[in-house]
Amino acid sequence: MSKHVVQQQEGAVLVLQINRPDKKNALTLDMYQSLIDGLLLAQRSDAIRCVLISGTEGCFTSGNDILDFMAAASQPDKAALPLTFLQTISTFSKPLIAAVAGDAVGIGTSMLLHCDLVYCTKDARFQLPFARLGLVPEGGTSLLLPQQLGHRLAFELLVLGNRVNGIRAAELGLVNTAVDDPFSEAKTAAVQLSNMAPQAVKLSKNMMKSHQQALLQTVLVDEVEQLVERLASAEAKEAFSAFVEKRQPKFN
Ligand code: COA
């Protein structure tokens, strides 16, 4: 278990807190593994009926650790664990709730598309900067966002990489609602779901997701394959170097 993911069971709710505030909760491979382990534990335990994912006070997660991205350019197998995480979260059969404060970048936003309920602060900041980093969409976003928002709005988020705040995210339907205390809102919903008939809840969720689950799983793999190719591109290398050197990238 990574020390940067805090796992705590509160009644029938398993809380997974992403907790690496000094690096804006950027996700390392160890952290992906801990999130996967937490979800698998919740999947097999009858005592857990709902999972709540949160970050720290001012940040949900700044997405994949950029240094890991740089390493994956020469070691493509490093992309296997993020893919396993996406496969696990997208097929998780119990209710999954997210509480978002502050930044939710890259996979920090795309993982929310696999959650059943999302609550955020009004000033939360959602961003999918894949193309800005010389990359391509991941996490099923190339399928789910155009479906949900239509091509143009999805393009604005996925290709322009524009940032949206919590209020706009709620208007777009990326989250359920923007509130003062998303964790408390998420906890209330989690307790409510935990007190409901577990089989009915699970079957309902799975029914809603079943219609395109096979397609989504294919998309997740295709996206990661293309992303891995992009990681080794000159464009991505320039974007990552620029981030580390705290400068604007220059694409020729
Ligand atoms: N990977 C690795 N380190 C990261 C990181 C990431 N994804 N996001 C932030 N950090 C680190 C910064 O390098 C900095 O480290 P330092 O203090 O050793 O210099 C620290 O976290 C704080 O980040 P900083 O950029 O100073 O915070 P901020 O509040 O000004 O901005 C973000 C926050 C999230 C907007 C900004 O950090 C950011 O854009 N991060 C990159 C997000 C990203 O591109 N993720 C990949 C998506 S595919």
Is 143 a domain residue?
Answer: yes
Using CA atoms, how far apart are residues 33 and 55, in angstroms rounded to an integer? 16
CATH code, domain with 79: 3.90.226.10
Is 213 a domain residue?
Answer: no
Is 197 a domain residue?
Answer: no
For ligand 1, say whether the CB of 223 is within 6 Å of any of its atoms: no
Q: How many CB atoms lie within 10 A of CB 194?
A: 18
Mutational test site, ligand 1, from 22, 24, 100, max ligand atoms within 8 Å of CB: 24
Is 45 a domain residue?
Answer: yes
| Alpha-carbon dihedral 21, 86, 9, 210, rounded to 10 degrees | 150
Domain count, the chain: 1
Is 43 a domain residue?
Answer: yes
Mutational test site, ligand 1, from 28, 62, 141, max ligand atoms within 8 Å of CB: 62
Taking only the tens of pLDDT, the chain with its 252 residues reads 899 999 999 999 999 999 999 999 999 999 999 999 999 999 999 999 999 999 999 999 999 999 999 998 888 888 899 999 999 999 999 999 999 999 999 999 999 999 999 999 999 999 999 999 999 999 999 999 999 999 999 999 999 999 999 999 999 999 999 999 999 999 999 999 999 999 999 999 999 999 999 999 999 999 999 999 999 999 999 999 999 999 999 998
For ligand 1, say whether the CB of 133 is within 6 Å of any of its atoms: yes
Is 11 a domain residue?
Answer: yes
Is 71 a domain residue?
Answer: yes
* The two three-digit tokens of residue 87, written as one number: 């496969």
Question: Whose CA is closest to 104, among 151, 53, 37?
Answer: 53
**Residue nearest atom 44 of ligand 1, based on CA coordinates:** 129
Give φ, ψ of 75 to 5 degrees.
Answer: -130, 80
**Residue nearest atom 16 of ligand 1, based on CA coordinates:** 23
Q: Which atom of ligand 1 is nearest to the CA of 108?
A: 47
For ligand 1, say whether the CB of 193 is within 6 Å of any of its atoms: no
Domain assignment of residue 37, given as a range: 5-182
Q: Are strands 177-178 and 50-54 parallel, antiparallel or unpaired?
A: unpaired
Is 107 a domain residue?
Answer: yes
